[in-house]
Copies of this chain bind each other. A is one copy, B any other.
Amino acid sequence: MRYTLLGLLLALFCPLARAQEAQTEDAFFIRKLYDQTLTNSSCSDWLQYLTRRIGGRLSGTPQAAAAVEYTYQMLDTLGLDTVWLQPVMVPHWERGEPEQVRIVNSLKMGSIDLNALSLGNSIGTGPRGLTAPVVEVRTLEEADSLGEQLRGKIVFFNTPMDPTELNTFNAYGKAAGARVYGASRASKYGAVGALVRSLTTRLDDIPHTGSTVYTEDALPIPALAISTLDAELLSQLLKEEPVRVYLRNTSRMLGEKLSYNVIGEIRGSVHPEEIILVGGHLDSWDVGTGAHDDGAGCVHAMEVLRQIKLAGYRPKRTIRCVLFMNEENGLRGGRAYWEWSDAGQEYHTAAIESDRGGFTPRGFTVDGHDEVFNAKFKKAIEWLPLLEPYGLSFRKGGSGADISGLKSQKGLLFGFEPDSQRYFDYHHTPIDGPDVVNRRELELGAAAMLSLVYLIDKYGLEVE
């Protein structure tokens, strides 16, 4: 950067000019980071490898182990100060043979096979399957109100995602309770199985898996998702006649396995004790190849470190990339990391998780401990003029599951927020593959996170 004499004098003696000078310098540097990321990035190649070569990376599988090894190696090529594996015990759930969900001997339609996937963590029906009458409900509360009427039944949670929610994550949040807790709730009243409508705004034949949680107050029963078109069909048929469904899945929990979070960091030159975390989760569901969920988030985080090195930027604070294991069906990686970090009396001044796909960036959700949130958020908001030219904004909201436990350290937590319209077209399905991730959109996500990391690193988030 060249200075005129006047500019130099102004910069030295006038605080306002100094602030403007800094802002201009920041604008140039962020522009440089974007240019560099859009012309020289590895995130797309990494994602291709994770998805096409390795594939679905369910916790405990050989693919998850391969992803640990691969990303460790890739981080190790970046010239970071440290790259390491953090051991974590994870559940190993197995889907088993292809699921069968069949409407049996309908008067109007005969027998019909539905498009179905076991929910993650589901138990199996046993090899012979089970057949029972179906009862449809919209909500967990409706299941409660039917109570003993559910005994011996398969409870069908037909909870559509609300299409009028502009942010599809809000619609997901409103509808996901039935998937997570439906089986246990139904079981409490003696139900023998649970079917849930897939969580997507689309009407199509693609079933969406996702975790179910067995609460301690009920016996586990098999839980499966059916496609939205099949949910519509089943619902329509139930209006016309009693319906019996045959379920068969051989899913089972195999016990725990050793796995790892993959971590790499550049140590801060001035405040190494202030950690800025960027992360995603390395595991995915077994169907599909986890491209948007969350291969994209992993390569975003890795690319941030790569670009920092490429730019020759020496961070004041410690920049750490964490690829968490087991977000999908246990959050063991996140929990292990928080415990370890707390035990070592670490301090995360900021953490940014990318777990909403690789779409065009819109900004970041921001969360934090009540005691510090307002003051720190105010500080971050001052950077908005530098981020808005890139279509980025901040809004209050949850950050990401893997970093949520860091809130007690009282730093600021960010969730990278890309455009949400297409995410639930692919989420937890066989079609979440690299062909539905756009290279530029992916790169822009890395650049957005990188720019925020740069600003946090340069100015810090600590308040007096």
Contacts and interface: CB of A to CB of B under 8 A. Distances in A.
Given A168-B440, A362-B391, 11 more contacts: A34-B164, A39-B163, A163-B440, A360-B360, A421-B438, A421-B440, A421-B444, A422-B438, A422-B440, A422-B441, A425-B438
Given A201-B440, A440-B201, A38 B163 contact: yes
B421 A390 contact: no
B163 A34 contact: no
Interface in A411-445: 419, 421-422, 425, 438-441, 444
Given A360-B419, A360-B421, A421-B444, A390 B166 contact: yes
A421 B201 CA distance: 23
A353 to B, nearest CB: 22
Contacts of A441: 421-422
A360 B391 CA distance: 13
A152 to B, nearest CB: 36
Interface of A: 34-35, 38-39, 163-164, 166, 168, 201-202, 360, 362, 390-391, 419, 421-422, 425, 438-441, 444
Contact of A164 (B35, B360, B421, B422): B35
Contact of A38 (B34, B164, B438, B440): B164
A202 B421 contact: no
Pairs A-B, 6 closest by C-beta atoms: A35-B164, A38-B163, A421-B440, A421-B441, A360-B419, A38-B164
Contacts of A391: 166, 362
Nearest to A439: B202
A427 to B, nearest CB: 14
Residue of A38, A421, A425, A438 with highest tally of chain B CB at under 10 A? A421
Nearest to A440: B421
Contacts of A38: 163-164
Contacts of A34: 164, 166
Contacts of A35: 164
A131 to B, nearest CB: 36
A163 to B, nearest CB: 5
A407 to B, nearest CB: 28
Contacts of A421: 360, 438, 440-441, 444
22 contacts: A34-B164, A34-B166, A38-B163, A38-B164, A39-B164, A163-B440, A166-B390, A166-B391, A168-B440, A201-B440, A360-B360, A360-B419, A360-B421, A362-B391, A421-B438, A421-B440, A421-B441, A421-B444, A422-B438, A422-B440, A422-B441, A425-B438
A169 to B, nearest CB: 13
A425 B35 CA distance: 20
Contacts of A166: 34, 390-391, 444
A123 to B, nearest CB: 35
A66 to B, nearest CB: 27
A166 B438 CA distance: 14
Nearest to A420: B360
Nearest to A444: B421
A440 to B, nearest CB: 5
A439 B201 CA distance: 10
